[in-house]
């Protein structure tokens, strides 16, 4: 019987997430039975959105959708794994799979009842973990936000918040490919440097700077046409101030409130009227519901990935025992690009 370590949610965080909110437990994984397969996780995806699923000590916001993680149960996240033992003819040994069963080293997959949470990687790309960033919903999301929601046009000026994050950094590059001037905001001077030197943005700023508004205004005297908002709060208010008439704000997140912080709404919403802005709430789930549309998106992303047009930086923590720290560090902004935990090595069994 295989032993698997798993990370459980021990308590709901109040304020910033801490190690004490997690517990590393070891469980026995039973051998797979008829119609079942044993999966070994190789890579897991650490994302800011998981914070909302941990809930909060604040009872007032405890009922927010979607469904929160259960206490004292392993959490969930997207993971890439490999079938190492199988009694399911659909899942031959050696097959690579993407599932929602992260935060654990091994799991038994019962085909029929849980099928929607596990998909075979029919054509695995290299490296495997690209299925957790550019060839994942995050890559597709970046594409969807920039081209379909914001409908960017060549020559426009696009501001992307959390520009050094997974989706943000891909969105920056897709806006560049679209012929836009691109500026980004991020949380540290090191990331600013990375955005300028690696991604070649037109300008990048540390959003902690007290003169953020003036700095962006100086860098973009022509104004902002599109703002991609992962953040809310002060940055959204600043963007509304600096938007050009007929500008589009695509709001996709609210990281300023994820980690227990409170976010005030922007006090300048009347400018949305004066400037005829569109403020659109959008999510990756919009396109997940349209698999046919996704195929085209992945074909395009796959090409850009293969020929190096889009680069993705990875921040990798090794071992399930460091997964909780990876989550904490992601929320603390310590990553550049995609935060990943390498859970195991692939078996040479195919």
Nearest to 40 by CA among 343, 348, 349: 343
Grouping H, G, I as helix, E, B as strand and the rest as coil, residue 311 is coil
The minimum distance between CB 219 and its own copies, in angstroms, equals 22
The minimum distance between CB 246 and its own copies, in angstroms, equals 10
For position 279 contacting its own copies by CB under 8 A, the verdict is: yes
DSSP sequence for 166-210:
HHHHHHHHHHHHTT-EEEEEESSHHHHHHHHHTS--SEEEETT-T
Nearest to 236 by CA among 248, 223, 222, 249: 249
For position 81 contacting its own copies by CB under 8 A, the verdict is: no
Grouping H, G, I as helix, E, B as strand and the rest as coil, residue 227 is strand
The minimum distance between CB 65 and its own copies, in angstroms, equals 6
Closer to its own copies by Cβ: residue 108 or 284: 284
The minimum distance between CB 42 and its own copies, in angstroms, equals 31
For position 261 contacting its own copies by CB under 8 A, the verdict is: no
For position 267 contacting its own copies by CB under 8 A, the verdict is: yes
Residue 117 contacts residue 137 (beta carbons within 8 Å):
no
- Please, how many CA atoms are within 13 Å of residue 46, restricted to the half-sphere of its CB? 31
The minimum distance between CB 237 and its own copies, in angstroms, equals 7
Closer to its own copies by Cβ: residue 52 or 169: 52
For position 252 contacting its own copies by CB under 8 A, the verdict is: yes
| Residue numbers 207-236 binding its own copies by CB under 8 A | 232, 236
Q: Pairing state of beta strands 2-9 and 22-29?
A: antiparallel
Q: Greatest CA separation found in the chain?
A: 66
If you search the block for the tokens 């909780």, which residue do you land on? Answer: 324
Residue 19 contacts residue 325 (beta carbons within 8 Å):
yes
Give CA–CA dist 266/118, Å, rounded.
Answer: 40
Site string for its own copies, 54-73 (x = CB under 8 A): ----------xx--------
The minimum distance between CB 169 and its own copies, in angstroms, equals 20
Give, for 253, the enclosing helix (H) or strand (E).
Answer: none
Closer to its own copies by Cβ: residue 199 or 279: 279
Q: Which of 278, 288, 293, 311 binds its own copies (CB under 8 A)?
A: 278
Closer to its own copies by Cβ: residue 267 or 308: 267
| Span from 18-26, 131-139, 200-208, 253-261 in contact with its own copies (CB under 8 A) | 253-261
The minimum distance between CB 303 and its own copies, in angstroms, equals 29
Closer to its own copies by Cβ: residue 23 or 241: 241
Q: Which of 272, 288, 294, 316 binds its own copies (CB under 8 A)?
A: 272
Compute the Cα dihedral for 279, 283, 286, 287 and give only its sign.
Answer: positive
Chain length of the chain? 350
The minimum distance between CB 278 and its own copies, in angstroms, equals 5
Q: Pairing state of beta strands 96-99 and 79-86?
A: antiparallel
Q: Which of 251, 300, 305, 338 binds its own copies (CB under 8 A)?
A: 251
Residue 130 contacts residue 60 (beta carbons within 8 Å):
no
For position 160 contacting its own copies by CB under 8 A, the verdict is: no
Contacting positions for its own copies (CB under 8 A): 64-65, 232, 236-237, 251-254, 257, 262-283, 286
């Amino acid at each position: 019987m295989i032993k698997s370590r798993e990370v459980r949610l021990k308590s709901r965080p109040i304020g910033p997430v801490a190690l004490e909110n997690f517990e590393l437990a070891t469980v026995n994984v039973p051998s797979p039975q008829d119609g079942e397969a044993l999966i070994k996780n190789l890579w897991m995806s650490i994302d800011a959105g998981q914070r909302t699923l941990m809930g909060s000590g604040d009872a007032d916001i405890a009922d927010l959708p979607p469904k929160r993680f259960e206490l004292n149960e392993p959490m969930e996240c997207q993971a890439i794994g490999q079938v190492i033992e199988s009694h399911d003819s659909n899942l031959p040994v050696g097959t690579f799979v993407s599932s929602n069963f992260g935060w654990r080293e091994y799991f038994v997959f019962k085909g029929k009842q849980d099928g929607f949470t596990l998909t075979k990687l029919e054509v695995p790309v290299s490296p495997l973990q690209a299925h957790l960033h550019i060839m994942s919903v995050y890559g597709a999301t970046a594409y969807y936000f920039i081209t379909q929601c914001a409908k960017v046009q060549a020559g426009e000026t696009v501001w992307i918040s959390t520009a050094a994050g997974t989706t943000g950094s891909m969105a920056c590059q897709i806006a560049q490919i679209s012929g836009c001037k691109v500026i980004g905001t991020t949380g540290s001077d090191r990331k600013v440097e990375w955005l300028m030197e690696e991604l070649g943005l037109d300008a990048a700023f540390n959003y902690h700077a007290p003169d953020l508004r003036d700095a962006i205004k100086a860098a973009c005297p022509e104004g902002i046409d599109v703002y991609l908002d992962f953040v809310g709060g002060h940055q959204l208010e600043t963007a509304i101030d600096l938007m050009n008439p007929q500008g589009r704000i695509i709001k996709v997140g609210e990281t300023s409130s994820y980690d227990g912080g409170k976010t005030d709404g922007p006090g300048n919403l009347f400018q949305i009227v004066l400037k005829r802005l569109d403020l659109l709430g959008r999510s990756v789930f919009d396109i997940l519901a349209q698999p046919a549309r996704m195929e085209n998106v992945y074909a395009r992303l796959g090409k850009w990935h293969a020929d190096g047009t889009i680069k993705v930086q990875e921040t990798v923590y090794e071992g399930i025992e460091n997964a909780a720290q990876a989550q904490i560090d992601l929320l603390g902004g310590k990553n550049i690009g995609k935060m990943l935990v390498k859970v195991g090595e692939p078996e040479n069994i195919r």
